[in-house]
Chain A
C-alpha cells in the first residue's frame, strides 16, 4: 500500500500518493530548469502550478480518493513534458539554437558544471546580477551572497561596493543557470512575527521554536540576570550586561535584516526549496572536502578570468559609457518631441544625475560621520555621570543619540536593502515617518545642546592663598612628589594607548592633571602662592560651589638649605599631580591655576616632575547670550626650563642665573 500525504498546492489541500508527489516535484523542477531562460519564469511556473492544482481538485471532486501516479502522468501529458515542449519550439532560445548549431554548442558548454564560468546573471538580477552570478558560480543560494554583500558593505567601509561596481563592469552578462536546491525563505504558514524563524527552522530541519529560542536567548539571559542581581547594577555585571545587551541588539538586527531580505515561500516549489534535502554535519563535511579540492583549480581559473577581464577593461568601460549615454539619449528623445523640449529634458536629466551623484557622496560622508559620532558616543558613555545635570538631561541625550544618529542610519540601511531587493515603489509612509523622526532628532539635539550649554554659562573662581610656613625663604622650588596619574583601566571597555597619562576615570571620580602655572612680581618682599580654582555652572552659586569643592592641596611647608654656607632657604612647593572631580559635582570645565608671586631679587626653579607629571595648559570656555563663543584648550608652552634657577628682575621678568641642576631636595 502506498503512503498518502496531503499537500498544499496553490492553496488547494490535496491528498496525493507519496510517489506521485515525488513525480510531481521532479516535473516542476524540470519545468523550472526548462524555463530558466524565460523572462517571467516564476510567473509561468506559478500559473502552471495553479492549473495543476485546479485539475487535481477536479479529479478529487469527481470522487477519486487521492491523486495517483497515473493521474500525475496524465497531467504531465496534458501540460507537456519539457521534451514535448521543446518539440513545440516553444522558447525563443530553442529556436535560435536549432537555427544556429554553433551557438547551441556554446550554450550547452556554458551550462556544463565542469566548465562553469563566472558571469553576471542577467536572469535573476536585482541590481547588476553580480551576486546572483557569483552564487551560481559557487553553487550556493543567491540570498546568502546578497546578505553577505549587505553585511560586508557596512563593515568593509565601501570596499565591497567598489568590488561590486568593478565586477559589474568587468563581468560579462549571461543567462546563468540558477542555483537549484535548498534556499532560504520566510515561512508564512508558521509565522509568529515575520516567518523568519519558521523559515530558518524549515531550512535547518529544526523546529521553529528552537530558532525562536536562539533569537530570544540574549533577551532571556538579560532578564534572568536582572532578576539574579536584583536590578542592582553591580559593577562586575556591567561588562556582562553590555555584552548581552549588544547580543540583543545583534539578534534584533539580524532578525530584521533577514525579514527584509528573505523572500516569502509562497508557491509549493518555493516551499520545497525551503525544506530541500536534509542537511546534516556529514553532508556539510562532504561538501567542504569536495569544495577544497576544487578551490585551487577554481582560483587559478578565476585569476585567469580576472586577467582577461582586466585586459579588455578599457574596451568594456567605453562600451558601458556608450551604452549609458545611448540610454540617456533614448530617454531624452522619447520624452520630448520638440528640439527645445529635448534640450530642456536633457538638462533636467543631467541635473538629476549630477544631484544623485552629489547626494550619494554627501549621504556616504554623512553616514561615516554619524557612525563616528555613534562610536564616540559609546566610548564616552562613562562620562555621562559627569555630564548630565539630571535624569531629564540624560533622557534628552539618549533621545538625541537615537533620533539624530540611529534613525538616519536605519533609514539608510532600509533604503539600501529595499533598493537591493528591487522595490522600485517608494514607501511614502516610511519616508515621512523617517523624516519626521529625524526632524524631531534635530529639535532634541538643539534643546540638548542648549541645556548643556547653560550648564557652562557662568564661570566663577575661588581664590585662596597657600601659606608658606617658612621664615624668609630666598627661593621657591616647584615640584610634584605624588606619583604620575595614569588611567587605571577601571572602565572595562575603554582602552587607550599612548594617551593613558594625565587623566583617570572611575565610576565616581574624574581625575585630571591639567594645571596652569603663572608667575608674577610680588608687591612686597615675600613669596606668595595664590591658588585659583574655577568652574562653570548654571548660575553663580553653582559655579562657585563647584570651584570651592575642588580638591587641590598645595603644600609649602618643607624646605632645604642651599648656598655656599647653607644659609639660603629654598621652600619646596609640592603640587598634587591631579585634581579630582566627584561624579556628583559633574564635569563643568573645572580648572586649577597657581599664581606664584616672586619678590624682586629672589629666585624660583621648576623640577622635572612638573613637566613629567602635569599637563600644563588651560581650557577656555566662553559662553554668553545663550551661545557658545569659544571652547579652546590652550596647550600653552611652559616658558621656563626645568632644572634652571630663575631670578626675578626689577622689570618683572624672570632671568636664568645658572644652568646647573639643583641638588635633590631631601
Chain B
C-alpha cells in the first residue's frame, strides 16, 4: 500500500473543490487563491494550481478576464461559469454527505446505555 499515493489522490480531489469555492466567493487570480489556501492551512505548490485552473477553464467551468496589475504583469481573474456553479454545487453536496459519513464512520461509537 502506497501511502503517498493515497494522500495525493485525496488531496487532489479536495483541491479542486477548494479552488472552486475560493473562486465562488468572488473573482480571484491564482495568487489570491494560493494565499487563501495557505491561510486555511492547505499548503499547496503553486505549480499544481495552474494546470488545474487551465483544465477547469478548458472544461468551461471557469472563465477569466485580464486585469492590469500595479505590480507585475497582467493577471488572469477567474470566475465561475454557470456550468462551474452547478459542478460546485454537486461537489459541495457530495462533500457534505461524505464528510458527515466520514465523521460518523471515524468517530468512536457512542456507548449505548
Could you tell me which A residues sit within 8 Å of B by CB distance? 10-12, 31, 35, 38-40, 43-44, 47-48, 50-51, 53-55, 57-58, 61, 78-81, 84-85, 87-91, 95, 98
Contacts and interface: CB of A to CB of B under 8 A. Distances in A.
Given A87-B4, A89-B8, A58 B71 contact: yes
A87 B8 contact: yes
A91 B12 CA distance: 10
Contacts, number: 90
B50 to A, nearest CB: 5
A11 B50 CA distance: 19
Interface in B27-63: 30-31, 44-48, 50-51, 53-55, 57-58
B47 A91 contact: no
A80 B73 contact: no
Closest 6 CB pairs of A and B: A80-B45, A80-B47, A54-B72, A89-B8, A10-B73, A40-B54
B55 A39 contact: yes
B24 interface: no
A199 B9 CA distance: 44
B65 interface: no
A468 B76 CA distance: 101
Given A51-B31, A57-B71, A85 B48 contact: yes
Contact of B71 (A40, A47, A61): A61
B48 A90 contact: yes
B31 A31 contact: no
Contacts of B5: 89, 98
How many of chain B's residues touch chain A, expressed as a range? Answer: 20 to 34
B11 A88 contact: yes
Interface of chain B, main secondary structure: helix
28 contacts: A11-B73, A38-B51, A40-B54, A40-B55, A47-B30, A47-B54, A48-B50, A50-B74, A51-B31, A51-B50, A54-B31, A54-B71, A57-B72, A58-B71, A58-B72, A78-B45, A79-B45, A80-B47, A81-B47, A85-B45, A85-B47, A87-B4, A89-B8, A90-B12, A90-B47, A90-B48, A91-B51, A98-B2
A75 to B, nearest CB: 9
A50 B47 contact: no
B103 interface: no
B46 A95 contact: no
Contacts of A54: 31, 69, 71-73, 75
A89 B5 CA distance: 7
B46 A80 contact: yes
B82 to A, nearest CB: 19
A199 to B, nearest CB: 23
B16 to A, nearest CB: 12
Contact of A53 (B2, B12, B45, B72): B72
A12 B76 CA distance: 16
A10 B44 CA distance: 24
A52 to B, nearest CB: 9
Contacts of B57: 40
Nearest to A92: B55
Most chain-A Cβ atoms within 10 A of its Cβ — which of B9, B30, B44, B47?
Answer: B47
Contacts of A12: 72-73
Interface string B1-33: 010110011011000000000000000001100
A10 B72 CA distance: 9
Interface of chain A, main secondary structure: helix
B30 A51 contact: yes
B112 to A, nearest CB: 41
A43 B72 contact: no
A390 to B, nearest CB: 60
Most chain-B Cβ atoms within 10 A of its Cβ — which of A40, A48, A90?
Answer: A90
Nearest to A61: B71
Contacts of A84: 45, 47
Contacts of B69: 54
Given A54-B71, A54-B72, A89-B12, A44 B50 contact: yes
A87 B4 CA distance: 8
Given A54-B31, A90-B51, A40 B73 contact: no
A96 to B, nearest CB: 12
Contacts of A85: 45, 47-48
Nearest to A58: B71
A87 B69 CA distance: 32
B46 A51 contact: yes
Nearest to B72: A54
Contacts of B31: 51, 54
A324 to B, nearest CB: 25
Given A39-B58, A98-B5, A44 B73 contact: no
Contact of A79 (B8, B46, B74): B46
Contacts of A88: 8, 11-12, 44-45, 48
Contact of A43 (B45, B48, B54): B54
Contacts of B47: 31, 48, 79-81, 84-85, 90
Nearest to A53: B73
A661 B51 CA distance: 98
A35 B50 CA distance: 11
Given A54-B31, A54-B71, A98-B5, 9 more contacts: A47-B50, A51-B30, A54-B69, A57-B72, A58-B72, A78-B46, A87-B4, A88-B44, A90-B12
Contacts of B74: 11, 50
Nearest to A40: B54
A618 to B, nearest CB: 74
Contacts of A35: 51
